[in-house]
A and B are shown apart, each in its own frame.
Chain A
Amino acid sequence: MLSHKTIISTLVGVLLLLPMLAQASDIMPTVPKAKAEANPDTLCIRDVKDMRKNHMNYILHKRDLTMHEGIRTSQDSLAECIGCHVSKDSKGQYPSFGDDKHFCSSCHNFAAVKVDCFDCHNAKPTEASKTGSTIK
């Protein structure tokens, strides 16, 4: 027969473990959905896995092309990424960079990778940026 002590300690143990079990399921970041699906097969301008792994290289390459050679096409343009991927929150406002609801921050906060893109670039879509409709 179980003593009161054993029952209480087991209950306490289970209660302590519950939040940990709950956390394990939603520990991964919630990445906001893009406004438009540029390509229904790959969802983005390239395969999602490729973009997750290599997006920094693509935008770094495009950055130099734009800055030094004046090539302002929509492919790999940061403004286009922002225009399509950053969506309004429940209050109808665009989240700031650093907010977990911001597309870039949702992962970067989780991975603790600091980026300085938005020290200079606008992290929110503006009228000038399109909604991904031109990307093929």
Chain B
Amino acid sequence: MTQPVNNTTESTTDLYRRNFLGKTVAAAGIALAPGMLLTEVAHARPAGQAVTSKNRWGMLINTNKCGSGCTECVTACQTENGWGGADNSEQHSNASQQAVWIRKVKLKDKQTNHVQSLPLMCQHCETAPCVDVCPTGASFKRADGVVLVDKHICIGCRYCMMACPYKARSFIHEAIENQKVHAPRGKGTVESCTMCVHRIDKDGTPACVEACNAEGHQAMYFGDLNDSNSVISKELAKNGGQQLRPDLALNTGVRYQGL
């Protein structure tokens, strides 16, 4: 093997190549880093990163486990989001006007007298009628499947309330005080269940699900429908989950078992 004739030139070139390669690898590493994050576990979304359609948040409710007289989920929602309850600031609205984000519904089979109880709230449809009809774009579906009202651009026309087959939305008729920091609510806007989006954004669980589990009913699951390894997806794959009004083909994010 021949020795290099000019050592100085060789070493300079090597150094140049090394530097070039080193910088290229570093640049490639930076370019790859955001992509790498996307392949990580669904839950770990950095605080400054936008939600993506990689997740689709959903809920599963087992009506057989849901207690008939239990309203823990409703109370938890009221406490969390500051609607209804004892310190209700909608003093001038009657019961049918006041906001209801989640309510307990009793189903009775007249033939067999079998009674079922279930919580009913925004079903977070994939093809949401409320989003379709909104004239301003205030009613929208977030990339991760949560259907929300952007009250900054809501004009209070209530078209979405008419369109919703689940009667899930409410209109605020009067000035509201002492709102929760994470749940702003005000006169002249429509509101509904947000699936506790402020909690989801911090890797949390909706207040209703948490309360149901704390009560020991374990009737509500929350999780990522797009993640086949999540508890909710496994349960849905194994035992199925029914949509309310499946004839409307809305592909709801909230599913029910035992109906």
Task: Say whether A associates with B.
Answer: yes
A residues lining the B interface (CB < 8 Å): 63, 65, 67-73, 79, 119-122, 124, 126, 128-129
Q: For residue A55, give the distance in angstroms from its CB to the closest CB of chain B.
A: 16
Report the minimum CB–CB distance from A122 to chain B (whole Å): 5
Q: Which residues of B contact A120 (CB under 8 A)?
A: 151, 176, 179, 184-186, 189
Give the tally of cross-chain contacts (CB within 8 A).
57
- Distance in Å: Cβ of A93 to nearest Cβ of chain B: 13
Known A67-B150, A68-B150, A70-B142: A129·B49 in contact at CB below 8 Å: no
Central interface residue in B150, B179, B189, by most chain A CB within 10 Å: B179
Is A70's CB under 8 angstroms from B197's CB? yes
The closest CB in chain B to the CB of A126 belongs to B181
Is B234 on the interface with A (CB-CB < 8 A)?
A: no
Minimum CB distance partner of B51 in chain A = A70
Report how far A69 CA is from B53 CA in the complex, Å.
11
Interface size of B by CB at 8 A reads: 32
Partner of B182, one of A67, A68, A124, A128: A128
Across-interface contacts of B148 in A (CB, < 8 A): 67
B48 CB contacts on chain A under 8 angstroms? 71, 73
- B43 adjacent to chain A (CB < 8 Å): no
B17 at the interface (CB under 8 A from A): no
Task: Give the CA-CA distance A124 to B178 in the complex, in Å.
Answer: 8
Classify the secondary structure of B's interface with A: loop
Find chain A residues with CB under 8 A from B197 CB.
70
Q: Bound complex: CA of A119 vs CA of B140, how far in Å?
A: 21
- Residues of A near B51 (CB, < 8 A) are 69-70
Instruction: Judge whether B184 and A121 touch: CB under 8 Å.
Output: yes
Chain B residues positioned under 8 Å from A72 (CB to CB): 47, 198, 201-202
Residue on B with the closest CB to A129? B181
Q: Which of B177-225 contact A (CB under 8 A)?
A: 178-182, 184-189, 197-198, 200-202
Identify the 6 closest CB pairs spanning chains A and B, nearest first.
A120-B186, A69-B50, A120-B184, A119-B186, A70-B51, A128-B181
Is B144 in the interface zone, CB < 8 Å from A? Answer: yes
Chain A nearest CB: distance from B58 CB in Å? 16
Q: Can you name the residue of chain A whose Cβ is closest to the Cβ of B172?
A: A120
Complex Cα–Cα for A53 and B143 (A): 33
A128-B47 contact, Cβ under 8 Å, with A67-B150, A119-B186, A119-B187? no
Evaluate whether A63 and B152 lie within 8 angstroms (CB atoms) in the complex, with A69-B51, A128-B181 already known.
Answer: yes
Given pairs A72-B201, A120-B189, A128-B180, 8 additional interface contacts (CB within 8 A):
A67-B152, A68-B140, A70-B144, A79-B181, A119-B175, A120-B179, A122-B179, A122-B180
